[in-house]
Structure 1
Amino acid sequence: MNAKTRQRRPAFDREAGVAIAQALFHERGYDAVSLADLTQAMDIKPPSFYAAYGSKAELFERAMLRYVQEHALPLAELLAPEKAPSEALPALLLAAAEQYGQDSLLRGCMITEGMRADDQAARGMAENLGNRGIQAIRDYLDRFHPQGAQAMADYVVITLRGLSASACNGMPYERLMQVARTAGRFIAHELEADGPKTAS
């Protein structure tokens, strides 16, 4: 082989690029990640980036979908029909606090924080994904407490978003867990005060 023969550059791995982007978006937020940040981290040029992903917003959507597949809270398990809300909802908050605060860099919920993006397209993508989880919580509560389902669903969602934001702002893990425990006790008390309900 001629020593002067140029070695061919390895083919760019698009899925590996999505994983790199996911970590950057999760750590810094959509708005704080530039195209230059992405291309530098992936070691590619802008034309190759656009050919692979179309746009920064489209890559963000792919990164969020990957996040959902790997890190989304297991709502189907946590909110199983056989579980009473007074037990299931506190468990959901604890699971969220644990997930949002356990990593030193990738803190909070990537989807929730994406809903704060200044970019309208990116924000809309995050909202579409986030709304699925919100609807799952509401559907679960409708089975047990249809009269107060909306108010309780709102309380749970606001608490989840607060846990995510606090994790991103550096609140220590144990304090996040304590907030989740306190909110869980409040939920259990409120639901038990309404009397036992059974799913239809």
Structure 2
Amino acid sequence: MNMKTAFCFAILLFLGLHVDARFDLLPMDADIECGSCLEASRKVGKALNNLKMFEQVSLLSIQACEALPVDLEIECLKTTGDYIQRTRLLLKDFFHEESLCNGTGVCINETGVPASNGIFIEGVNERTPLEEKTCSACRRTVKDVIWKLRDPRMKTKLTKVLIDYCEESEEREDQCKQTIYRYGSIVLNKLERLKPYDLCLMLGFCDEEIAF
């Protein structure tokens, strides 16, 4: 893996952490477990189909790429677009209700057969208490991750991950490592300045009506 791939991987890895963390914090009472799973699946599906949201993600990646020299910035921007699209398709498949809810056995009816899609009504547009809790959970998670990024040990771990990817590259391994050592901290410092609510809003986990 060359240096441009390594930096773009770091950007999308950071975004992926927030998407995954959202479900770790969802309330999972036995009576509403399936409904909560389907609701979460719908919310993510809606967010992933929102082109405006991905425009915001692209802007975020641009801000990170701007920390690099001009030649590397151009390469970073070209590669980031491909990675964003690839990540989008991967997340859509993973968080589809057939995979997330039915395939995992979360939604099972009394006969032991995976539940039908009728449990959740697609047309509901009103914000539910679950959505508000999801927004709060996202903000808490983002805040926690940003706080951890201020820990030198966490930065060291992230740097090590990128170095490992450099070592897998058959070409330009040394140049890849030098770039990470030189500019990695600059990119991480930009990520530290992210505001939790703004990031959750652009990812579709919060609505503008929800107070900060």
TM-score of the superposed pair, with normalisation by structure 1: 0.31
Higher relative contact order (CA 8 A, sep 6+): 2
